[in-house]
Amino acid sequence: MPRSRPYPRDGAGPEPGQASALTGASLNGQASAAGSPLGLHRVLEPAGVLPQAAWRLDAKAAIWPDEVRVAVTRLNLDAASFRQLREAHNGNPDKIRASVLEIIRTRGKMQNPVTGSGGMLTGTVAEVGPESSLGLAVGDKIATLVSLSLTPLVITDGLVGWDGKSEQVPCEGHAILFGRSIAAKLPDDLPAELALSVMDVCGAPALTHRVVAGCQARSSQAPGPVVAIIGAAGKSGSLSAAAARQAGAARIIGVVPHEAEAQLLRDAEGAAAGQPGLIDEIVIADARNPVVVSRAIEGAGGPADVTVVCVDVPGCEGGAILATAYGGTVIFFSMATSFTAAALGAEGVAADVTMLVGNGYVPGHAQLALDLIRAQPAVRGVFQRRLDEHGSANHSAPNHGAPNHGE
Amino acid sequence: MPRSRPYPRDGAGPEPGQASALTGASLNGQASAAGSPLGLHRVLEPAGVLPQAAWRLDAKAAIWPDEVRVAVTRLNLDAASFRQLREAHNGNPDKIRASVLEIIRTRGKMQNPVTGSGGMLTGTVAEVGPESSLGLAVGDKIATLVSLSLTPLVITDGLVGWDGKSEQVPCEGHAILFGRSIAAKLPDDLPAELALSVMDVCGAPALTHRVVAGCQARSSQAPGPVVAIIGAAGKSGSLSAAAARQAGAARIIGVVPHEAEAQLLRDAEGAAAGQPGLIDEIVIADARNPVVVSRAIEGAGGPADVTVVCVDVPGCEGGAILATAYGGTVIFFSMATSFTAAALGAEGVAADVTMLVGNGYVPGHAQLALDLIRAQPAVRGVFQRRLDEHGSANHSAPNHGAPNHGE
C-alpha cells in the first residue's frame, strides 16, 4: 500500500474533480437571496442560532432555491443516542419508537435532547433547488454526511417498519439539505448498508490519516509513529487503524474490552490472510480505567505517539492521555467525551499532549473511507460482522460498538 | 519583542534549569514504593480511578514518602465553578460558603460536582517527603498548577475569612501534592495576588504561543497568522493575545461582549502607551451568536487562522468555528465548552478546522505567562483592573470574566 498517497491533503480544500461522488458546497457562510447556506432560515427557536443549536427547526417540504429535498428511506441513529434511548426505556421497542417519533415531531429534526447527537440518513433526491451547489440530481441515491441533529426532518409512516431494536431505522418521510451541506452518492460497487455504515464514521479515519501522516512528515527518521486505537474492533476504530497504516504508522496497538472483541478482530484478519495486518498487537483492557489501559498499551510497545479514542462510553479520557507519549496526540472521536475531563485530566497528570476534538468533517473523508474498505479485507470483515450483529438480536458488545461519529 | 524566542519548545520536556522556579516531577506514571506519583493511593471511591475522576479522596495530613504537604492560605476557585455556586445560591454569601465547605468535607477536594472543575491554591510548604521530586523546601511560598479537582484538601477555619463574594478564598487548612504534580514558587518581584491570577490561566498563553508559532513555521512567507481572541479583555484572553503577538501573529482581533469591556482594554493599552499594542482591533459581539461573531471577526480582518476561546459562557463553539479560516485552528480554553457542540458544530457547517482541547499544562507555562506580564504593561493593566474589580462589590462583567483555566 503506497504510504505517500497525498490524501487527504493537509489543510487543503475539497479535492478537485470529486464533486461527482462527494458533493461539497459553498464555504461562504453568508446568507444569500436563496436563503442562508447554513440553514438559518429554517431555525424556529431560539431565533438566530445555527440549526444544530436550535431547539426546533422548520421542516416543511417546500424548499428554498439553494436547498435539496430528500425522500428518506433510512435513519442511522447515532450510537450514543440509541443507547440512551434503549436504556431510558429498558429496551422496550414500542417506547423507543414512540420516543423517536416524538423527538422528530416536536423538534423538526432527530436530535436526542439528552445526548445532543443525531445520526445520518439515506434517501433519494426528490427535488433540487435551482441555486443548489451540491451537485445532486433528482433520483440520486445519497447519504447525508451532516448530522441529523441539524437536518430538517419529517417522518410520515409512524416508523412502522422499524423494530426499535437497532439504530438502523427504515422509514418514510422527507429531509432538507441546505446550501452548505455534505452528501455523498452511495457507491455502486458496495452494498448500501455497508457503504452507509462506512460513511457514518468516515471522519475518524480521515483525521487519523492526517495526524499520523503529519507525525511522519515531522520526524523523517523512520520508523513511523506508534498508534493506539481504543475500541479497535469497532467500525470507526478498525477504519482508523487502516487509515493509520496507510499513513505510515510503524506499530498499531488495538485496545478492546474483552475476548469476544479480540476474537472478532482476529477472525476478520484471518479471513483476509495474506493481506497487510490491520492491528499489530491486540490488548484487552477496560478503557475507562486509566491505569489499566495505559499499562496495557505500554506493555504492547507504547506509549503511543497517536492515540485514537473510538469507544462510545464515558470516562475514557484519562486512559488515553496517560497512554500517550510526551508530545503526542490524542484524537477524541467518541461523542461521550467530556471536555472538562480531557482538559483537567491532562493537566492533572502533567501530560504535554495535543488533544483534538474529532471533527467529523475532513475534505475527502467519505472517499478515503470507502477506498479503505475496498483495499483492506480485514476492515471490511469487521464491518460485515458488525452488520451481521445488528441483524441478530444478540448484541455481544453493547458497550463498545463504534461511535456513530462522523455523524 | 523577539519573535524567535524558542519557548516553550514544541513537544520538548521541561526546560533544563527551570526546576528552581517551576518544579516539575517525574513523568513516569508507574506506582513506586513511595506510593503512586499520580496519587492513586489517595483515591477512596470509586477505587482504581485517577484522583480527578474520584468522588472522594483521602485528604489526611500524613504524607507518603514522595508527597508534599502545603499549609493553605488561599483558594482561587475556578470561575465556572464560582459562577455556578453563585447562581445556585442567588448570590447569598453564607450559602455559598456553606456549600464550598460541604463539598470539601464530603469529597476531600474542592471539585464542584456540577461543573467538575476546581481551581488552584497558594500556601507554604509544610513538609516534604524524602522521595519527593518536586524540588520544594519547607517554607517555600507556592501556587499549585494542578487543579483543586484532584488535590486532597482539608479546611480547618470554616472559611471565616471569606466574604463569599469572589472566587478568591482566604482560608486555613492543608493540601497534598503528589509525586507527579506541578507547583510554582511565587515570584519575588510581583504581588502574590497578581502572580496567582497569572499562573491560574497560564496554560492558555502557552498553548496559544505554541500554535501561533507553529503557523508561522509552516508558512514562512510573512505576514504571520490572523488571531482572534474571544474574550480578549479577560485574564486568559489578554495573556493569550500577548502570547500570540510574541509568537508572530500579524493581526490580533479581540472580541468582547460590550462597550465596558472594550473600554477596559483601551484603558489598559492607553496606560501602556508607546508599548507594542495588545489588540489590533477590538470588536463588540455576543460570542454565543455564531452568525454575529463570525461576521464581526470577518469585518475586522478575519477569518482567523487561529481562534482562541477564552470566555466561560456556554455556546461559543459555533461562532469560533465559523470565524476560523479553512485549515485554521480553534483552541477551546473555556471550561464551558461542549465537546459535542464543537464536534457536531464543525461538521454541521462543513468546516475543516483543527479543534484543540485547551490543555492547561504546557511545559514552562507559568514562566512564559509571568514573563508576558513583566514585558507587556497592557496585559498587566488588564490584570490589575480585574483584581480591582474583584476587590469591589460591583462586577461589571459577570459573564465574561476570564475562565479560570490552566486551573
pTM: 0.79
Indicate yes or no: CB of B343 within 8 angstroms of CB of A405: yes
B344, B355, B362, B368: best to mutate for the A interface, most A CBs within 10 A:
B344
Judge whether A44 and A54 are in contact, CB under 8 Å.
yes
Contact A351 B337 (CB under 8 A): no
Q: Which among A375, A371, A396, A386 is positioned nearest to A184, based on CA atoms?
A: A371
* Cβ contact A343–B363 (<8 Å): no
How distant is the Cα of A307 from the closest Cα of chain B, in angstroms? 15
Task: Kindly state the average pLDDT of the residues B320-347.
Answer: 92
User: What are the pLDDT digits (tens) for A303-334?
Assistant: 999 999 999 889 999 999 999 999 999 999 99
Which residue among A29, A118, A294 sits closest to B294, beta carbon to beta carbon?
A29
> Is the CB of A357 less than 8 angstroms away from the CB of B342?
yes
**pLDDT band (50, 70, 90) for residue B103:** very high
Whose CA is closest to B35, among B3, B66, B11, B61?
Answer: B66
Of A181, A292, A350, the CB nearest to B25: A350
B362 interaction partners in chain A (CB closer than 8 Å): 352
pLDDT for A407 beyond 90: no
What is the Cα–Cα distance from B338 to B116, expressed in whole angstroms?
13
Cβ atoms A63, A31 nearer than 8 A:
no
- Residues B150, A348: C-beta atoms closer than 8 Å: yes
pLDDT for res B390:
65
- Give the cell for residue A254: 488495538
CB contact under 8 A, A347 and B290: no
pLDDT score of A19 more than 70: no
Longest dimension (CA), chain B: 60
With a cut of 70, say whether residue A97 has pLDDT above it. yes
Residue B274: predicted pLDDT:
63
Å between A27 CA and nearest CA of chain B: 8
Tell me the pLDDT band of A220, cut-offs 50, 70 and 90: low
3-state helix, strand, coil in chain A (%, to 5): 35, 20, 45
**Among the listed ranges A12-16, A387-391, B156-160, B225-229, which one has the minimum average pLDDT value?**
A12-16
Beta strands, E only, B68-214: 68-77, 119-128, 141-144, 153-155, 168-177, 183-185
User: Residue B363: what pLDDT?
Assistant: 87
Mean per-residue pLDDT, A237-247: 96
Size of interface A-B (CB pairs under 8 A): 213
Residue B103 CA to residue B109 CA, distance in Å, equals 7
Does the beta-carbon distance from A327 to B12 stay under 8 Å?
yes
Of B147, B291, B338, the CB nearest to A344: B147
Lowest mean pLDDT among A379-383, B218-222, B381-385: B218-222
Confidence of residue A128 (pLDDT cuts 50, 70, 90): very high
Please tell me the predicted confidence (pLDDT) of residue A297: 97
pLDDT digits (tens, 9 = 90+) for B48-81: 788 988 999 999 999 999 999 999 999 989 888 9
CB A355 within 8 A of CB B329: no
Pick the residue of B316, B340, B361 with the most A CBs within 10 A to test the interface with A by mutation.
B340
Name residue, grid cell 475522576: B53
Q: In chain A, which residues have their Cβ closer than 8 Å to the Cβ of B291?
A: 29, 38, 40, 48, 50
| Residue in B closest to A145 by C-alpha | B347
